[in-house]
Chain A
Amino acid sequence: MRNYEDDFALDDLLSPAHQARLLELLGKLSGASFALNAHDDGASRPLEFNLDTLGWLKAELPAEQHQAAVRLYELVLFYAGKYRLAANLHHDATEASYLELQQKHAAVQASEEKYKQLAQRLTQQVEEQVRVIKKAQQELYESARLRAVGQLAAGIAHEINTPIGFIGSNLRVANDYLDELEASLPDSHETAMLFEDFHALLDESSSGTKRIARIVSDLKTFSNIDQADFAACDINALITTACRLIQAEQNQVLPLSLRLGELPEVAGYPAKLSQAFYNVLDNATKSLEAGGQIRVASRVQDNALEVLIEDEGCGMPDDILARAFEPFFTTRDVGAGSGLGLSVTRDILVAHRGEVRMESRLGEGTCVTLRIPVN
């Protein structure tokens, strides 16, 4: 790049056309002919600009006139030079300003980018915090709910246990009385029919009380009333309880088959594990609208205890499967479920250093595997 202060050649200051014009005008003024040479040939005088000799002016003229022509030429060069210098300076200054502007612009862009990233990071952090808070809230809610249900169940179980106890024993005594009464009455076809009916009635009531007693005891297990928080758990017993409870809740006999293997006891929270099994069973049951089986199995595999709950229900597509563990995600009608089932289940298993795996095929069924490591 040429700098504004570079020394100029003649052509930088005057175009060749103007140089020719100037020589022509000088010629007309003086009546002699002028020529411009690059070198001194003895009959020429130097043209100077800023201490530089830019050319040699040749003319057949007396010294004084020759000198005057040179001075006139130099005057033209002086003003042409001033213009050139000013123009070059202007160019340099503008270019420098533009460069500075570009640098500033780049700096502004860089800082803008920095702030954008910062904002993004902050947003991420806020989202992360919100997620943590939501989860904590959910857990709090869930454990509070579990506790409330547990307390309610404990209360009911306690209240029902005593009357159901004496109803049961009263029914047995009543049955004995009935035998005595039957023996003391004259034999007749009508009375025989009556007593048969009466016995059947009492037997039915008796088995009903037994069922109530069992439900009460399951409820106690489920709500962990009798056990310390953290205890050695018999997983098979917890599975059985959960299955019975779900049957009782459905008020029908479910097509449910159990294949429970030999399991070691594991330390854990029985009530929570029951809740986990119950949640998965609940989902399996609800998927069976068009019929099918539920198979529950337990086994030890790769140093972990596995509970497999498999149904032949409606299954789910991949996109729903991918979101199945999100809290509040549900495909059921609003009100039919909290959508918390699987996320709570997973949290419970994670609390036991375990995990939940789920496979599903739309229209074919779902298999949920709950794994708890055996230490």
Chain B
Amino acid sequence: MATYSSSENKLVLKIVYYGPALSGKTTNLMQLHSQLRPQRKGELMALETRDDRTLFFDMLPIGLRSEGGLDLRVKLYTVPGQVQHDSTRKAVLSRADGAIFVADSQLNQQDNNAFAFDNLAANLQKLGMDIEQLPLAVQFNKRDRQDAIEEHKLRARWSSTPWAPLTLASALNGQGVVESFRQLLGRLYPAVDAEFALARDHAIDSQAFIQNLSATGGPSNA
């Protein structure tokens, strides 16, 4: 849940990268860290990894300051995908404002994708949230793999869900990562605007919100 502090005029949003083990959540965050040029960007914190696998979480803070002086922060988290870390996963997911589900395109990972997606829904419910209500983008990563499930099959499978269209990515090569993030920002904006009147009180419309937080270069990188 977003927290707004009126004394500091500071709004903090939380976005969580969720998905099965080894699907590329940490890789997504590392790519964002190197590709994004938002107004403000902190250090990428990887808390505890063993053999490249997240044990606690990764976190990347980014932010912007509006002309009206709003200090808008977005904290990006990844959860540990391994099944046994469910209580950590749930703790990281708590109070999320939006999520990006990173699925693994490899054919033999489809069961794990489904299992992780169910786990996301179940954990949201335990935390008092509803997967149908939460702003959520679904990314199929590792499109570069030979054994990746075919795109038309994926699109057909997801077309009738609230999360279509999917985004496709090859995070290792830096492709599709920013696009997925932008899609999520687009789905997140209406909820945040409804609660905190971003457009009315802070002159931040959807376009400014997305552009400023996901800029990859150019003038906003002042």
Residue B187 interfacial (CB < 8 Å): no
Residue B73 interfacial (CB < 8 Å): yes
Q: Are B91 and A51 neighbours in the complex by a CB distance under 8 Å?
A: no
Residue A341 interfacial (CB < 8 Å): no
Residues from chain A with a CB closer than 8 A to the CB of B88 are 89, 93
Residue B53 interfacial (CB < 8 Å): no
Which residue of chain B has the shortest Cβ distance to A98 in the bound complex?
B87
Q: How far is the CA of A92 from the CA of B42 in the complex (A)?
A: 24
Q: Are B43 and A5 neighbours in the complex by a CB distance under 8 Å?
A: no
Residues from chain B with a CB closer than 8 A to the CB of A90 are 56
A93 and B90 contact, Cβ closer than 8 Å, known pairs A51-B40, A86-B47: yes
Residue B203 interfacial (CB < 8 Å): no
Residues from chain A with a CB closer than 8 A to the CB of B47 are 82, 85-86, 89
A96 and B59 contact, Cβ closer than 8 Å, known pairs A85-B47, A89-B92: no
Q: Are B91 and A96 neighbours in the complex by a CB distance under 8 Å?
A: yes
Residues from chain B with a CB closer than 8 A to the CB of A82 are 45, 47
A interface, by DSSP: helix, strand, loop or mixed?
Answer: helix
* Selected contact of A89 from candidates B57, B61, B75, B126, CB within 8 Å: B57
Chain B nearest CB from A70 CB (Å) reads 14
A89 and B91 contact, Cβ closer than 8 Å, known pairs A51-B73, A82-B47: yes
Residues from chain B with a CB closer than 8 A to the CB of A81 are 45
Residues from chain B with a CB closer than 8 A to the CB of A93 are 87-88, 90-91
| A to B contact number (C-beta, < 8 Å) | 50
Residue B142 interfacial (CB < 8 Å): no
Q: How far is the CA of A309 from the CA of B207 in the complex (A)?
A: 105
Q: Are A51 and B61 neighbours in the complex by a CB distance under 8 Å?
A: yes
Q: Are B40 and A4 neighbours in the complex by a CB distance under 8 Å?
A: no
Q: How far is the CA of A90 from the CA of B126 in the complex (A)?
A: 18
**A76-106 with Cβ < 8 A to chain B:** 78, 81-82, 85-86, 89-90, 92-94, 96-97, 100
| Interface bracket on B | 20 to 34
Q: How far is the CA of A86 from the CA of B58 in the complex (A)?
A: 10
Residues from chain B with a CB closer than 8 A to the CB of A3 are 95
Instruction: Mark A148-163 against chain B: 1 for CB-CB distance below 8 A, else 0.
Output: 0000000000000000
Residues from chain A with a CB closer than 8 A to the CB of B48 are 86
Q: How far is the CA of A86 from the CA of B75 in the complex (A)?
A: 16
Residues from chain A with a CB closer than 8 A to the CB of B19 are none
* Selected contact of A51 from candidates B42, B57, B94, B126, CB within 8 Å: B42
A92 and B61 contact, Cβ closer than 8 Å, known pairs A5-B14, A85-B47: no
Q: Are A89 and B56 neighbours in the complex by a CB distance under 8 Å?
A: yes
* Selected contact of B45 from candidates A85, A94, A96, CB within 8 Å: A85
Residues from chain B with a CB closer than 8 A to the CB of A48 are 42
Residue A303 interfacial (CB < 8 Å): no
A50 and B56 contact, Cβ closer than 8 Å, known pairs A3-B95, A4-B91, A96-B90: no
Q: Are A86 and B14 neighbours in the complex by a CB distance under 8 Å?
A: no
Residue B135 interfacial (CB < 8 Å): no
Residue B63 interfacial (CB < 8 Å): yes
Chain B nearest CB from A87 CB (Å) reads 10
Residues from chain A with a CB closer than 8 A to the CB of B14 are 5
Q: Are B56 and A78 neighbours in the complex by a CB distance under 8 Å?
A: no
Residues from chain B with a CB closer than 8 A to the CB of A92 are 91, 94
Chain A nearest CB from B13 CB (Å) reads 11
Which residue of chain A has the shortest Cβ distance to B73 in the bound complex?
A51
Q: How far is the CA of A196 from the CA of B87 in the complex (A)?
A: 119
Q: How far is the CA of A4 from the CA of B93 in the complex (A)?
A: 12
Q: Are A50 and B91 neighbours in the complex by a CB distance under 8 Å?
A: no
Residues from chain A with a CB closer than 8 A to the CB of B73 are 51
Chain A nearest CB from B79 CB (Å) reads 11
Q: How far is the CA of A51 from the CA of B44 in the complex (A)?
A: 11
Residues from chain A with a CB closer than 8 A to the CB of B62 are 51
Which residue of chain A has the shortest Cβ distance to B77 in the bound complex?
A5
Which residue of chain B has the shortest Cβ distance to A7 in the bound complex?
B12
Residues from chain B with a CB closer than 8 A to the CB of A96 are 87, 90-91, 94
Residues from chain B with a CB closer than 8 A to the CB of A5 are 14, 59, 75, 95
**A6-24 with Cβ < 8 A to chain B:** 7
Q: How far is the CA of A78 from the CA of B59 in the complex (A)?
A: 12
A50 and B61 contact, Cβ closer than 8 Å, known pairs A78-B43, A86-B47: yes
Residues from chain A with a CB closer than 8 A to the CB of B45 are 50, 78, 81-82, 85
Chain A residues within CB distance 8 Å of chain B: 3-5, 7, 48, 50-51, 78, 81-82, 85-86, 89-90, 92-94, 96-97, 100
User: A51-B62, A96-B94 provided; 5 other pairs, C-beta below 8 A?
Assistant: A5-B14, A85-B56, A86-B56, A92-B91, A100-B126
Q: Return 10 A-B CB contacts under 8 Å, by A number.
A: A5-B14, A5-B75, A50-B42, A50-B45, A51-B40, A85-B56, A85-B59, A90-B56, A93-B90, A97-B87
Enumerate the 3 nearest inter-chain pairs by beta-carbon distance, A residue then B residue, closest first: A93-B91, A93-B87, A92-B91
